[in-house]
Structure 1
Amino acid sequence: MLDFLGLSNTYSERDLESAILAQLQQFIIELGSDFAFLARQKRIIIDNEDFKIDLLFYHRGLKRLVAIDLKLGKFRAAYKGQMELYLKWLDKHERKEGEESPIGLILCAEKSQEQIELLELDKGHIRVSEYLTQLPPKEVFASRLHKAIALAQVKKEE
């Protein structure tokens, strides 16, 4: 829930990133404990081409870098390849001795559950999560909560 960012109905990825950084403490609380902020728009160069990782954190408990890519729309399969590239670069150039391999989080305005399942993103080092910048109506929120609980129960039984 990113409603604390105070974003209007229309915003850019840069607006989302700036709002998160302005409210960094609250954002980290939403992510969970043990996160340390390392960089915004982390510049990496691959084949003389510039890329930027939106947000880079370190998780003390997991002992690994966490790359976060912010997306405005619905999840697209191409985002996986982009994140894989970032993670391979971080593993090669930024990972310190004693750390685990980096992991990635793609934050989208809307998940594409079937694509996520087909890409097996629930099994690797990349996760996709949906964010909300405003609380939905109570009925919609309750419905999403029930779906999330049902999905978690199914996964628990597997």
Structure 2
Amino acid sequence: MTLTQSIVVDIQAIISTAREKAARSVDRERVIMYWHIGNRIFEEEQHGRDRAAYGTRLIKYLSEQLQPQFGRGFSSRNLNLFRQFYRSYPIVQALPAQLSWTHYSILLGIENEGKRAFYEKETVKNNWTSRQVERQISSHLYERLLLSTDKGSLQEAANIDDSPKEPKDIIKDPLILEFLGLKPEASYYEKDLESALITHLQEFMLELGNGFSFVARQKRIHLDGDDFYVDLVFYNRLLQCFVIIELKTHKITHQDLGQLQMYVNYYDRIERLRHETPTVGILLCLEKNDTVVKFTLPENSNVFASKYQLYLPTAEQLTKEIQNEVNKRK
């Protein structure tokens, strides 16, 4: 790169950074403006005797007055949303600066406060875009984490990914892989599933959860003349451990579990450094048998089986599964 090219690149970077900061600053001011509008509408409503009727008339009147001057952004629907925004977040100083108005408008669609708080915290922690938040909500991440943990309450589930203390805290079951575009009824091989996951690696890591980094694909292990290939290797910085993922497009067998346990043993004895925690193995399968898993592996094993689904579950399906899980634990 010549000196002239270097200065162009530097100035381009300066401009891009300044524009990004300006955009964030503008959006932050917009968030605060909407909060204050919602606050003012709510205060005015308290003066009406029939508050519900007065509030409806007030919103309609404000929309008629504001839209000609300020545009469609001040429709009755949006003014109601501003009011809801203030009611849901009554302390303006507590509004996370990382969230844009698009983030808030998505979060406000969640009625359950604990559930909304969970997605809000995860969005800030993981720097999710608005599209990523929508995807996590539509894939029912909150409900699926309830099924993946032995904690019993919705409130506790909001802190599941906060600071995992043991391997099972980072395991989701099931994993939803609808972004791969593979049809549930179609015939495909494990190599097809692996290729699709690599193609959509960013989405896959988002689905895996917090702290994952990609390490290798088809990692070769040479054992006394025999070669073995590990499907996918990740590293989780929160637990400070390798995470090995083996892919199976069939119902798992004890042989599948034994193979993955061998890979985990290899990484623990050869690859793992002294300061790192034991390696975790995840057998990602289309169908699992918990009893086979239980009796194949030692009780303190770091190998887990997790199902994957190629479609988004419905809320009814997850509610039923959660209730079944609650009944099991009683």
Q: TM-score, normalised by structure 1?
A: 0.86
The correspondence of residues 32-71 of structure 1 with structure 2, limited to 5 A, is 32-71=209-248
Q: Distance in 2 between matches of 1:52 and 1:41?
A: 5
Question: 1:24 is matched with which residue?
Answer: 201
Question: Which AA in structure 2 matches 1:150?
Answer: N
Question: Which AA in structure 1 matches 2:221?
Answer: I
Question: 2:179 is matched with which residue?
Answer: 4
Q: 1:21 to 1:122 in 2, by over 3 A?
A: farther
Q: Which has the higher strand share?
A: 1
Please list every run of 5 or more consecutive structure 2 residues that lacks an aligned counterpart in the other structure: 1-175
What displacement does 1:63 show?
0.5
Identity of aligned residues (%): 37
Partner SS state of residue 269, structure 2: helix
* CA contact 1:69–1:106 (8 Å) conserved in 2: yes
Question: 1:73 is matched with which residue?
Answer: 250
Question: 1:101 is matched with which residue?
Answer: 278
Question: 2:305 is matched with which residue?
Answer: 128
Instruction: Write the deviation string for residues 17-67 of structure 1: whole angstroms up to 9, x where unpaired.
Output: 010011111101111010000000000011210101100000000010000
- Which fold has the larger relative contact order, with Cα–Cα distance below 8 Å and residues 6 or more apart in sequence? 1
Q: 1:120 to 1:150 in 2, by over 3 A?
A: farther
* CA contact 1:36–1:57 (8 Å) conserved in 2: yes
**Higher Cα Rg, which structure:** 2
Partner SS state of residue 197, structure 2: helix
What displacement does 1:91 show?
1.2
* CA contact 2:243–2:281 (8 Å) conserved in 1: yes
Partner SS state of residue 71, structure 1: strand
* CA contact 2:283–2:305 (8 Å) conserved in 1: yes
What displacement does 1:154 show?
3.8
Q: Distance in 2 between matches of 1:121 and 1:128?
A: 14
Q: TM-score, normalised by structure 2?
A: 0.43
Question: Which AA in structure 1 matches 2:224?
Answer: D
**Structure 1: 4+ residue segments shifted above 6 A:** none
Question: Which AA in structure 1 matches 2:254?
Answer: A
Instruction: Write the deviation string for residues 98-138 of structure 1: whole angstroms up to 9, x where unpaired.
Output: 101111000000011221233357752000000011346x4
Please list every run of 5 or more consecutive structure 1 residues that lacks an aligned counterpart in the other structure: none
C-alpha root-mean-square deviation of aligned residues, in Å?
2.1
Identify which range, 142-151 or 14-23, moves more after superposition: 142-151
Question: Which AA in structure 1 matches 2:290?
Answer: Q
Question: 2:325 is matched with which residue?
Answer: 151
The total of aligned residue pairs comes to 153
Question: 1:142 is matched with which residue?
Answer: 316
Q: Distance in 2 between matches of 1:3 and 1:145?
A: 20
Partner SS state of residue 287, structure 2: coil
Q: Distance in 1 between matches of 2:220 and 2:297?
A: 28
Question: Which AA in structure 2 matches 1:107?
Answer: L
